Amino acid sequence: MTNFKKTLLAAAALLAGSTAAYAQSGLNDLQIAHSAYTADVIDINYAKIALGKTHDPEVKRFAQLMIQDHTAVNEGAGALLKKLGVSAQDNAFSQALNKGAAAENAKLRSLSGRAFDREYARNELAYHKQVNSIVGDTWIPAVQNAEVKEFLAQALVTFRVHEEHAGHMVAALR
Amino acid sequence: MPATWLLRFASPERHEKDKAMITKIKTGLLVLALAVGAGASAAGAQPAPRTIHVDIHGFQFVPAHVDAHVADTIEWTNKDFAPHTASDAGGKWTTAPLNNGAIDRVVVKTPGTFAYRCNFHPHMKGTIVVTGNVAQSPKP
């Protein structure tokens, strides 16, 4: 099976909400870098929606932290790619991530008040859990370049902290 | 001569302004005006001040515990992508927000045990234990 076909399969699995086929993603280093960057941008955009809607100071603080930390990670990614003299490659997996995000963005925009806060928190926990699983179980083992691997490992530490933080936020909003 | 920057609490509202400040103070010294002790005893022989390095890496202060002497400098270097601070939990003092690769320093002037954390990620905790006599000029 070609890498492209594997990627399409993984993207389809992501849209279906399954993580079972992530290990078959078959992405190369530059495609993984692009997907990681895309995942960061998606979470930054969720946070921007949250800042425009929430009145909860803790939710607001979390959203500000997401913008700050994910922006910093992407700046790190950009610096590394520049140092390596390469560019990230758009791919079907990144596109699938964006499609999933568009649906969630629409859902978030339709909500307000406590319902919004709860959905934002729920999605942050689920999203970080899902992305962390992909980064830790699939991308880090698959990446060939040592510096990209180290970058992803450090990014994963950041995202795991966010996942834990999101878990607390979900609990607090029950 | 390095700049001296008065301590203040880095509230989220000040964060953007603080980020802009960070490049100005990378080489500066923060003077840490910790709680004044019971009073200065007679001045004895003081060891030469030294700089104690603390890395911020993997969302941890490394080492998380440092033993210092009055007049020593604690120097934090952020090796994470995510910005961090080293800050008194009660808001009495803080470093500037430290972006990746940024450095900030504090001169300890009062004996005692001082717990600190990252303002952005409060689960990150560290401790400074300062021994020795109160410095002759305990305020910045």
Chain B residue with Cα closest to A67: B82
| Nearest CB neighbour to A161, from listed B12, B59, B83 | B59
Identify the weakest region by mean pLDDT among A60-74, B43-57, B68-82.
B43-57
ipTM summary value:
0.80
Contact criterion met (CB below 8 Å) for A158 and A73? yes
- Residue B89's pLDDT band (boundaries 50, 70, 90)? confident
pTM: 0.77
Q: Say yes or no to pLDDT of B42 above 50.
A: no
Q: Which long-range contacts (CB under 8 A, 24 or more apart) does B95-99 make?
A: B95/B30, B96/B5, B96/B10, B96/B18, B96/B21, B96/B22, B96/B25, B96/B30, B97/B10, B97/B15, B97/B18, B97/B19, B97/B22, B98/B22, B98/B56, B99/A72, B99/B19, B99/B22
**Closest chain A residue by Cα to residue B97:** A68
pLDDT at position A26: 84
* Chain B interface, best mutation among A56, A69, A156, A160, by max B CB count within 10 A: A69
**Burial class, B55, CB count within 10 angstroms (exposed 0-12 / middle 13-18 / buried 19+):** middle
Quick one: CA dihedral B32, B38, B42, B45, positive or negative? negative
| A38-87 per-position pLDDT tens digit | 999 999 999 999 999 999 999 999 999 999 999 999 999 999 999 999 99
Task: List the single best residue of B81, B100, B124 to mutate versus A (max A Cβ within 10 A).
Answer: B81
CA pair distance A43, B46, nearest whole angstrom = 52
Residues of chain B with C-beta less than 8 angstroms from the C-beta of A61: 12
d(CA B72, CA B128): 11
- Rounded Cα–Cα distance for residues B103 and B30 (Å): 11
Which has more pLDDT, A154 or B134?
A154
Give the pair of three-digit tokens for residue A120: 């934002």
Please name the residue of chain A whose CA is at the shortest distance from the CA of residue B19.
A68
pLDDT at residue B136, rounded to an integer: 58
For residue B58, the chain A residue with the least C-alpha distance is A157
Over residues B6-34, mean pLDDT = 40
Residue B101, min C-alpha distance to chain A (Å):
11
Per-residue model confidence (pLDDT) at position B91: 87
Of B59, B81, B123, the CB nearest to A76: B81
B87 pLDDT more than 70 = yes
For A19-33, A42-56, A136-150, which range has the lowest pLDDT when averaged over its residues? A19-33
Would you list the DSSP string of chain B? ---EE------GGGHHHHHHHHHHHTT-EEEE-PPP-S------PPPPP-EEEEEE-SSSEESSEEEEETT-EEEEEE-SSS-B--EETTSS-BPPPB-TT-EEEEEE-S-EEEEEE-SSSTT-EEEEEEESPPPSS---
